[in-house]
Amino acid sequence: MNRARACLIGILLLYSVPVWASPALPRDVITDLNAVEERLEAQQYDAVIERALAQAQFFAGGNTTDRFASALYRQLAASALSSVERYAAAADQLAAARPNINDAETTKRWLMQEAKLRRAAGQRQRAVDLLSRWVNADDGKSEPDTKAERWRLVRWLAQDKQWQAAAERLEGISEPVSSDEQRELALVVYVNADQPERALDGLLTTLGESPAPAQWRRASRLAQRAGELKVAAALWDTAWQLEIFTTADDFWQLVSLHRLAGTPARAAEYLEAALASGRVVYSEMALRIVAQSWLQARDIKQALASQHALAQLTRAADEWRLLGQHAYAWGRNDIAATAFERAVALGDEKAQQWLASLRLPPSE
């Protein structure tokens, strides 16, 4: 933490000093407190630390008024200590001061300040515990400060990779996400907490506002992780149609997702259009995917036509036999016979057996 931030923390601590009226302090104590505060404002930190700690110790064992004075001196010491980046020592002073303050708002404020000082001192888990206490005490409230500190707790937990705890805290935030930073934090937390459904819900609410390909890819991946394959395919399809996705890899992922999502006809249609336009090279691989996609869609006419095109391109006996088998299974015996004959002509013995069974007279 840099010096400027340290001074800022010190200033914040300084102006959290409560009104010195309850319990009533002796005039000489008030005069001395004012003198120490003036030294603090003058950045005479060493002098403030020495005097404030000595006075805090002097009044520590007295009555209620003495202990109140001790708490105020400790708070001034904490301000000076934080200004010279002695964050752990500053936090210790606030921790010692809090029990002697009867004002609930001041106690709560010092609890928060101690949490921030512990964090600055590298006492990360202790800081989380203190901030958790603060948030729990404010549970149910919707003031801006309360909301901000709830998000701070989520951020601290995420920084410490306490993903499940961070996700639980997120669930306790009823207010809608109000910034891109919060939205990104929630997304990271839910992804790492293995809650892709929640991550996807948050991302989908703003996806239409973003033309960034990375956001659409992330949403589709989250949908896949959540088992929502149709959603994943629909997201990719939308991004493709909007020309957010434009690369060859994007296209093949589109085809793959439609096949995985149970919409293989859509995959086949995209691929056939790409073959017709020249976007995809007319090849065995492409034709095979078209044929498999139509077969998966159980579109008999298209499946047989695409398998026929594949067999013609490859001139492979097994492709002709496969065409015959599909045609036979769907009762297209004329197509089956022609396909088996072509396979036999290419030396396929298995096709010979299929052709023989096809020509057997029906059993009575």
Predicted local distance difference test score (pLDDT) of residue 29: 95
Q: CB–CB of 329/321 below 8 Å? A: no
Alpha helices of the chain — where are they, by DSSP H?
3-14, 27-41, 45-59, 64-83, 87-97, 104-120, 124-137, 144-159, 163-171, 180-192, 196-207, 213-225, 229-241, 248-260, 264-277, 284-297, 300-314, 317-329, 333-345, 349-359
* Stretch among 78-87, 130-139, 147-156, 203-212 having the lowest mean pLDDT: 203-212
Average pLDDT of 127-147?
A: 84
Give CA–CA dist 176/195, Å, rounded: 18
Predicted local distance difference test score (pLDDT) of residue 11: 43
Q: What is the dihedral of CA 303, 309, 313, 315, to 10 degrees?
A: 70
CA 54, chain centre distance (Å) = 49
Q: Is the dihedral of CA 245, 246, 247, 253 positive or negative?
A: positive
Tell me the three state secondary structure of residue 258.
Answer: helix
Give CA–CA dist 10/124, Å, rounded: 20
| CB neighbour class for 244 (10 Å; exposed up to 12, middle 13-18, buried from 19) | middle
Give CA–CA dist 314/253, Å, rounded: 25
Share of the chain above pLDDT 70, in %: 91
Predicted local distance difference test score (pLDDT) of residue 144: 72
What mean pLDDT, rounded, does the chain reach?
Answer: 90
Task: Summarize pLDDT for 42-67 with one digit per residue, the tens.
Answer: 999 999 999 999 999 999 989 999 99
Tokens of 325: 């088998």
Q: Tell which residue, 223, 227, 228, 232, has the closest CA to residue 202.
A: 223
Average pLDDT of 279-306?
A: 97
